[in-house]
């Protein structure tokens, strides 16, 4: 009985770890997609402005 309980507990722990890794990877991927969307939005806004970066390095 104790062996079965231990095996069930170990299986549950392994599944929880796998679910945690999948969750982290999923969140990382969705954050990466949002970052690309934000960058595309910024680039679209910059394209509408007369000067894209008025205070870039080396410019006065």
d(CA 45, CA 39) in angstroms, rounded, equals 10
> pLDDT tens, 3-59?
999 999 999 999 999 999 999 888 887 776 776 677 777 777 777 776 655 565 555
pLDDT score, position 55: 60
pLDDT of residue 52: 55
Place of tokens 């402005």: 49
Q: Is pLDDT at 2 greater than 80 in this prediction?
A: yes
CA distance 36 to 48: 19
8 A C-beta contact, residue 46 and residue 52: yes
What single DSSP character describes residue 49? S
What does the block give as tokens for 7? 């095996």
Tell me the pTM. Answer: 0.51
Comparison of pLDDT for 32 and 60, the residue scoring more? 32
């Amino acid at each position: 009985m104790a062996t079965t309980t231990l095996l069930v507990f170990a299986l549950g722990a392994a599944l929880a770890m796998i679910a945690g890794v999948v969750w982290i990877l999923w969140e990382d991927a969705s954050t990466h997609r949002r970052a690309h969307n934000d960058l595309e939005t910024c680039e679209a806004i910059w394209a509408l402005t007369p000067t894209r970066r008025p205070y870039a390095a080396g410019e006065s």
